[in-house]
Amino acid sequence: MKVLEANRIHKSYGNKFNKQEVLKGLNMRVEKGEFVSIMGASGSGKTTLLNVLSSIDKLSHGSIKIEETEITNMKEKKLAEFRKKHLGFIFQEYNLLDTLTVKENILLPLSITKVSKSEAEQRFKSVVTELGIYEIKDKYPNQISGGQKQRTSAARAFIHEPSIIFADEPTGALDSKSASDLLFKISEFNNKRNTTVVMVTHDPVAASYSHRVIFIQDGQIYTILHRGDQSREMFLKDVMNTQAVLGGVHYER
């Protein structure tokens, strides 16, 4: 069952005298329970693609449906309500509120829903236990590490059980161990809870945790790699080889 469907999407900036076309008629579909990575060289359009898919930015032309709901021309108030219910976000810079504890930050998405206090507590305990951050629940963001901050951000994205989670370079500010820990946890959530994840990353190691990698070049899909039954290590080699062809960053393993 498809969760997201994008048809002939275009995104341009500027005016008719100085127009920059970033996305050029791209089509994309994501099935429920998929973990999809989007990669491409700097300027390829991958971040713009994530922004329009997640409703952060508006399309110039085309159609985007999430859970069969057309969001392209949705009014801002209705779109805000749709985001609260259906979308989760994990950003590179954490976006945690310094005046709130870890627990309070994580529970924020539920504070604007009709979820009961007991259910909220149950969801909180389940999510933070799986992410390994239960013991820091009463600490403030300035008292925890970068890896713990990002796992807090991930817990906040997962707790309201959205239709799809969008992750924008979630490991970009982390050291390699913290990045691996986070990706393993996201992968576990994806497998155990059938949570749909769409992640933009420049890192082939991060992309190797996903089921499918979509490579973007000049605002269009260049190629798509499917992991299938491959080990993560074998899939990583395929991702790195394709990235090398596109002129991406080279990584030594």
In a domain, 13, yes or no: no
- Note the pLDDT tens digit of each residue in 9-46: 999 998 878 889 999 999 999 999 999 999 998 889 99
On the question of pLDDT at 114 being above 90, the answer is no
Q: Do strands 35-39 and 196-200 pair parallel, antiparallel, or not at all (unpaired)?
A: parallel
Q: What is the pLDDT of residue 22?
A: 95
Q: What is the pLDDT of residue 250?
A: 43
Cα(168)–Cα(90) distance, rounded to whole angstroms? 6
The share of the chain scoring above pLDDT 70, in percent, equals: 98
Q: What is the mean pLDDT of the chain?
A: 92
Q: What is the pLDDT of residue 1?
A: 87
- Note the pLDDT tens digit of each residue in 119-137: 999 999 999 998 999 999 9
Q: What is the pLDDT of residue 15?
A: 82
On the question of pLDDT at 252 being above 80, the answer is no
Q: Which domain holds residue 51?
A: 33-58+80-245
In a domain, 120, yes or no: yes
- Residue 150 sits in a domain whose CATH number is 3.40.50.300
In a domain, 115, yes or no: yes
Output 122-127 pairs: Cβ under 8 A, ≥24 positions apart.
Answer: 123/159, 123/161, 124/159, 127/155, 127/158, 127/159
On the question of pLDDT at 249 being above 60, the answer is no
In a domain, 226, yes or no: yes
Amino acid identity of residue 11, one-letter, is K
Number of domains the chain is built from: 1
On the question of pLDDT at 251 being above 50, the answer is no
Q: What average pLDDT does this structure show over 212-237?
A: 96
Q: What is the pLDDT of residue 196?
A: 96
Task: Give residue for tokens 């491409």.
Answer: 40
In a domain, 252, yes or no: no
CA distance to 102, 188, 199, 209, per residue, from 233 (Å):
34, 17, 19, 9
* pTM given for the model: 0.91
Q: What is the pLDDT of residue 246?
A: 84
Identify the DSSP state of 207. H
In a domain, 15, yes or no: no
Q: What is the pLDDT of residue 19?
A: 86
CA distance to 178, 200, 205, 240, 241, per residue, from 252 (Å):
18, 21, 11, 10, 12
**DSSP run (H or E) holding 124:** helix 117-131
Cα(171)–Cα(151) distance, rounded to whole angstroms? 10
- Note the pLDDT tens digit of each residue in 147-206: 999 999 999 999 999 999 999 999 988 889 999 999 999 999 899 889 999 999 999 999
Q: What stretches of the chain adopt beta strand conformation (E)?
A: 2-15, 18-31, 35-39, 61-66, 69-70, 87-91, 164-168, 196-200, 212-217, 220-226
In a domain, 146, yes or no: yes
Q: What is the pLDDT of residue 253?
A: 36
In a domain, 12, yes or no: no
